[in-house]
Amino acid sequence: MNFLNEVSQHWPDAVSLAAGRPYEEFFDDDAPGRWLDRFRRHLADDLGQTPEQVRRTLFQYGRTKGIIHHLIARNLAVDEDVHVDDEAVVVTVGCQEAMLLVLRALRAGPTDVLLAVAPTYVGLTGAARLVELPVRPVAGGPAGVDLADLRAQVHRARAAGLRPRACYVMPDFANPSGTSIGLADRQRLLDLAVEEDLLLIEDNPYGLFPAGDADRVPTLKALDTRRRVVYLGSFAKTVLPGARIGYLVADQRVGGVDGAVGLFADQLAKIKSMVSVNTSPLAQAVIGGALLEHGCSLVAANRRERAAYTRNRDQLLAGLRRRFPAGSPVRWNTPAGGFFVVVTVPFPVDDALLRRSAERYGVLWTPMAHFYDDGRPVDALRLSVSAVTPAQIDLGLDRLAALITDELTRAAIPAG
Amino acid sequence: MNFLNEVSQHWPDAVSLAAGRPYEEFFDDDAPGRWLDRFRRHLADDLGQTPEQVRRTLFQYGRTKGIIHHLIARNLAVDEDVHVDDEAVVVTVGCQEAMLLVLRALRAGPTDVLLAVAPTYVGLTGAARLVELPVRPVAGGPAGVDLADLRAQVHRARAAGLRPRACYVMPDFANPSGTSIGLADRQRLLDLAVEEDLLLIEDNPYGLFPAGDADRVPTLKALDTRRRVVYLGSFAKTVLPGARIGYLVADQRVGGVDGAVGLFADQLAKIKSMVSVNTSPLAQAVIGGALLEHGCSLVAANRRERAAYTRNRDQLLAGLRRRFPAGSPVRWNTPAGGFFVVVTVPFPVDDALLRRSAERYGVLWTPMAHFYDDGRPVDALRLSVSAVTPAQIDLGLDRLAALITDELTRAAIPAG
């Protein structure tokens, strides 16, 4: 991520098909203040807090697990048909902190390992590195997860004396692959988790952005009758990145160091108290107010954003078809929603190529090699459609096509 | 901390001389909105950002090291005579995240250890446990740090094959001891750090709250001509806890994994990107606006709060003198400022006693044993004067005196 930031700062005029940031056109100057007021009224009118208590809730240190947990639980019920106790929710500093907490809790000793569907979000591998929890890749493939490979990896790890604690997966419009897991495979994945005594860490930042209504599939957590799923959520894409509010749902019953059995969420909250004490109540209040303004549903609230992402995705796919017609060695996938499309080319795609692309062609994208932890070359790149206009997409594709054409020509000329 | 929360939730009517939260009387409902607007104008008028850029700065993902770093650097120059490059500042999710980042960076291998002046703030020992960095205590004593013991502990650790990376110290009105380090000892501590090739981690949450003007002493960082000090700051006590904004200053030059030399702050920012990506720009903007409103000085801005803490401290000390006159076996220290006073009694003070105090006497305080990591009994308790009124202090002391009298009587009667 640092390399990407550096490149984009160095070439600010390049079209960025790299950034996974949400669409900016609908940002509203007045929204944070309005939402803060809305949450204040909720504390007073719905929760019966006195003016002094409202001030204390917003301005003081506060509850480690957060102050909008009840609204998040309601949001999950309304939007995802996920029904969990408020106490199983921990509000975190973005989804990144949620990942860190879960991975730190799972890392009890040096034989613990994490499985993760590859390619994998870099925030996950970064957090795992920080807590010294080795990540072993599981093949993703066109179905989103290769279940046979997952089972084989579990067995392989155990045979090596290791303890696979969980498998990380992004079932909806994954970052970076764009791939989704079908309903039948979700059920099979949950069964496998039970059979192999594995937790599933479900990360769902893009679930509200299907291209078509039929492209929404129940989350693993909605199907999780056996408490195998720790769910990670984010309001960065559905409300506002600048609040840095995410959350986790951990309704598993676990034994603590003192032998008492409690909620996994409470164990994670103890870790959180050593990472950030608690999440900013002011920032939580902004998100809480947004949830209240929309009756705790973010589906309708994101109608315009979803339409923009779908329009952009269609623009990108049509643009790729036009520039690389049948017969071209350039291929791409067609995600059913989300922010990302993966383009495969017949040459290795590395940081040096990205730098050349930025410098000479004026277009940024992300080498897919960043999402594999093994340093091997990968012949693919990720394009993001989330923070650009259709005109920028066309300009970016023109420049990308020029780069690819030059690379193909260069590959066709034998070295002198 | 969790035990304390549990006790205070269980006996909400007890007078709390336990909470280290800042004074609430001056919290202002309108302040966050006003400060946010003030920072918006700064982005537009002082930094020349367009309305679109202002929205992006506040609402999008942002710079890992933060967006109010320049204001924090100015604040340090104005209030502390500390002069550092903006780029050496990392804005963090409260001071807790700053601690975590520094400790994680220092923990390069299993022989690394941290020294910390004992008694030690529990947030430090918690963060150290999380990153598996063992903490070895250094005697604090009445002078704030026992320099001979510090040197002995460094040598002892090295003789045991360990690598003492740094010493954590709170030189001003420390939590929990209330003790401060004098100017001459600060100079000696800096010399010792150079001689022993040690970093000093200076944590300074209470520096702006001296009881008298003569009680302010330059920070270690202000005296740090040899870049031995990593400075940790917090706006929780000086502006608003609910923003959860802290920061660190790390102007050391260090070698990275790639061999290149860079700022320690940049290495810490990389770790931060895996913990929380970036600190909420909205929360930063609130603090940034507060800084701007006061010309980047928080000394005058905290005039009323400082007066309240001094008044409360005086009330507590006078109340102790009245209830435990000369000849009493009860003793206490007289901190030159800050939030805390330590009371020593002739019997062990543990969690069971605190529970009895809450249940039967209606007063909360903190066992000093919480601030030592070795589980040994300690005959002392911490009283906090920061979040109470003078009337509450009197009531709390009445109750505490009743508890202590009963304990002394009980100790005087031989077991039957």
Question: What would the pLDDT profile of B3-21 be if each residue is shown by its tens digit?
Answer: 776 777 788 889 999 989 9
Q: Which domain holds residue B329?
A: 2-20+302-409
**Same structural domain for residues B55 and B175?**
yes
Question: In this complex, is the C-beta atom of B283 within 8 Å of any C-beta atom belonging to chain A?
Answer: yes
Chosen from A244, A245, A258, A271 to mutate, greatest number of chain B CBs within 10 A: A244
Residue A205 to chain B, least CA–CA distance (Å) = 14
Distance (Å, rounded) from C-alpha B100 to C-alpha B83?
24
What is the amino acid identity at position B28?
Answer: D
Query: What is the distance in angstroms between the CA of the first residue and the CA of the last residue of chain A?
Result: 36
For residue B195, pLDDT over 80 is answered with yes
Place A179 in a pLDDT band, splitting at 50, 70 and 90.
very high
The verdict on a CB contact (< 8 Å) between A127 and B274 is yes
A132 and A207 housed in the same domain: yes
Q: What percent of chain B has pLDDT over 70?
A: 98
Q: Are residues B82 and B158 in the same domain?
A: yes
For the segment A115-142, the average pLDDT, to the nearest whole number, is 97
- Please give the distance of CA A118 from its chain centroid, rounded to a whole number: 14
Tell me the pLDDT tens digit for each residue of A61-101.
Answer: 999 999 999 999 999 999 999 999 999 999 999 999 999 99
Same domain for B91 and B70: yes
Burial bucket for residue B129 (CB in 10 Å: 0-12, 13-18, 19+): middle
Q: Are strands B199-203 and B163-169 parallel, antiparallel or unpaired?
A: parallel
Mean predicted lDDT score pLDDT of chain A? 96
> Which tokens go with A121?
């979000």
pLDDT band of A2, cuts 50, 70, 90: low
Write the pLDDT tens digit of every residue in B38-87: 999 999 999 999 999 999 999 999 999 999 999 999 999 999 999 999 99
Mean pLDDT of A157-167: 98
Question: Confidence band (pLDDT; 50, 70, 90) for B412?
Answer: confident
B34 touching A (Cβ < 8 Å)? no
- Which pLDDT score is estimated for B119? 97
Strand stretches in A178-235, DSSP E? 199-203, 229-234
Do B336 and B292 belong to one domain?
Answer: no
Contact (Cβ atoms closer than 8 angstroms) between residue B3 and residue B351 = yes
Last residue of a domain, one of A272, A298, A324: A298
pLDDT for A107 beyond 60: yes
In a domain, B87, yes or no: yes
Report the CATH number that the domain containing residue A57 is assigned in CATH: 3.40.640.10
At A268, which amino acid appears? L
| Single-letter residue type at A28 | D
pLDDT digits (tens, 9 = 90+) for A3-53: 776 777 788 889 999 989 999 999 999 999 999 999 999 999 999 999 999
**Contacts A243 to B, Cβ<8 Å:** 280, 282
Confidence of residue A152 (pLDDT cuts 50, 70, 90): very high
| Domain assignment of residue B414, yes or no | no
Interface of A with B in 362-391 (CB under 8 A): none
- Cross-chain CB nearest to A282 (options B100, B242, B270): B242
User: Which residue, of A298, A325, A342, is where some domain finishes?
Assistant: A298
Q: Is residue A267 part of a domain?
A: yes
Cis peptide before B171 (omega within 30 of 0): no
Q: For chain B, first and last CA: distance in Å?
A: 36
pLDDT of B95 reads 98
- In chain B, which residue's Cα lies nearest the Cα of A129? B274
pLDDT (tens digit, 9 = 90+) per residue, B248-288? Answer: 999 999 987 677 899 999 999 999 999 999 999 999 999 99
Residue of B nearest to A281 (CA): B242
Spell out which residues of chain B touch residue A62, defining contact as CB-CB under 8 Å.
242
**Averaged over A247-271, what is the pLDDT?**
92
Alpha helices in B328-389 (DSSP H): 351-356
Residue A96 and residue A202 in one domain = yes
In a domain, B330, yes or no: yes
Q: What CATH number does the domain containing B324 carry? A: 3.90.1150.10
With cut-offs at 50, 70 and 90, classify the pLDDT of residue B98. very high
- Highest average pLDDT, of A12-21, B4-13, B168-177, B367-376, comes from B168-177
CB B18 within 8 A of CB B384: yes
Quick check: B416 pLDDT over 60?
Answer: no
**Is residue B2 pLDDT above 80, yes or no?**
no
Interface of B with A in 45-74 (CB under 8 A): 51-52, 55-56, 58-62, 64
| Model pLDDT, residue A415 | 60
The secondary element (H helix, E strand) that includes residue B383 is strand B380-384
The reply to whether B325 and B385 lie within a common domain is yes
A25 domain residue, yes or no: no
Q: State whether A244 and B283 contact (CB < 8 Å).
A: yes
CA proximity to A38, closest of A234, A236, A296, A235: A296
On whether residue A416 sits in a domain, the answer given is no
The phi and psi torsions of B236 (rounded to 5 degrees) equal -65, -35
For residues B289 and B302, give the distance between their C-alpha atoms in angstroms, rounded to a whole number. 15
Query: Would you say residue A169 lies in a domain?
Result: yes
CB atoms within 10 A of CB A366: 28
Q: Which amino acid is at A27?
A: F
What pLDDT was estimated at residue B415? 60
Instruction: Clarify whether residues B275 and B308 are in a common domain.
Output: no
Domain count, chain A: 2
Q: Do residue A7 and residue A150 come from a single domain?
A: no
pLDDT of residue A409: 92
- In the structure, what pLDDT confidence band is assigned to residue A277 with cuts at 50, 70 and 90? very high
Question: Which pLDDT belongs to residue A6?
Answer: 74
Q: Which residues contact A355 (CB under 8 A, 6 or more apart)?
A: A7
Query: Are both B286 and B372 inside the same structural domain?
Result: no
B-contacting residues of A 213-272, CB under 8 Å? 236, 240-245, 270-271
How far is Cα B367 from Cα B348, in angstroms, rounded to an integer? 9
Checking if the pLDDT of A1 tops 60, the result is no
In order, the DSSP letters of A108-167 are -STTEEEEEEES--HHHHHHHHHTT--EEEEE--TTSS-HHHHHHHHHHHHHTT-EEEEE
Residue B137 and residue B51 in one domain: yes
Query: Among candidates A142, A239, A149, which has minimal Cα distance to A196?
Result: A149
- Domain end (from A267, A298, A329): A298
**SS3 label, residue A196:** coil
DSSP symbols for B23-66 = P-TT--TTHHHHHHHHHHHIIIIIT---HHHHHHHHHS---TT-
Look at residue B336 and tell me if it is in a domain.
yes
Helix (H, G, I), strand (E, B) or coil at A46: helix
- A287 plus A376 within the same structural domain: no
Q: Does A205 touch chain B (CB under 8 A)?
A: no
**Nearest one of A89, A54, A50 to A71, comparing CA atoms:** A89
The pLDDT, as a whole number, for residue B217 is 96
